[in-house]
Amino acid sequence: MPIPLPLVDDEPQERRDAARNRDALLVAADALIGEHGVDAVTMDAVAARAGVGKGTVFRRFESREGLMAAVLDRSETAFQGSILSGPPPVGPGAPPMERLLAFGHARIRLNRVHGALIVAAGRAAARSYAAVSFTAMHMRYLLRELGVQGDIAFLATALLAPLEVPILEQQVEIEGVSIEGLTTSWDDLVRRVVSG
């Protein structure tokens, strides 16, 4: 009589149909976003495209934000991968200051590309795969490497804040700043904070 051995896998394990539907929904959402843009994608449409009822969508993803966060997850995971094991200067191997600057540039580019999706994911993004906490953690790590004194956690937040989507949008769309201008200004900010 083999005992179930609840090792790492303590989740009650998803039923086969549930897993299938989750995949189908993510594929459908991804496709619809690609075709019509994030803002035009409705939950009914996603459900219909995946061939499931609407209730199923909400059972799996809680809310529209939750679904968007799940879609976003793929690209965020890739981003994390490039930090953890990608080529320098974003990945390991470059000196901390170079990594820090490169990280910011990458984040700016990514936030410009996925802006609408990130906004649509809202606070659900923070809850799910913890994009927020991962980037903050990495930031704090780099600041520590650089020997920065003071409230590292807050300084990390403060350096990340101007890279947030709404602020980037304000700068680019309304004040007409270019991406290059943005990155060089951010570099300046980083140097001030680090050397301060």
Partner DNA sequence: CCACCAAACGGACCACAGTCCGTTTCTATT
Partner DNA sequence: AATAGAAACGGACTGTGGTCCGTTTGGTGG
Ramachandran assignment for 166, one of left (phi > 0), alpha (psi -120 to 50 degrees), beta (any other): alpha
User: Which listed range, 22-30, 32-40, 49-57, 186-194, lies at the site for its own copies (CB under 8 A)?
Assistant: 186-194
Site string for its own copies, 89-128 (x = CB under 8 A): ----------------------------------x--x--
Compute and round to an integer the Cα radius of gyration of the chain: 20
Residue type, 159: L
Q: Is 116 in the site for DNA (CB under 7 A)?
A: no
Which residue is it, tokens 């005992």? 3
For 126, other C-beta atoms within 10 Å of its C-beta total 13
The token pair at 20 is 């299938």
**Cα angle: 72, vertex 70, 182; to 5 degrees:** 20
Q: Is 60 in the site for DNA (CB under 7 A)?
A: yes
**123 versus 144: smaller Cβ distance to its own copies:** 123
Q: Is 61 in the site for its own copies (CB under 8 A)?
A: no
Q: Is 172 in the site for its own copies (CB under 8 A)?
A: no
Count of residues near DNA by CB under 7 A:
24
Positions that interact with DNA (CB under 7 A): 12, 14-18, 20-21, 41-44, 51-56, 58-60, 63-65
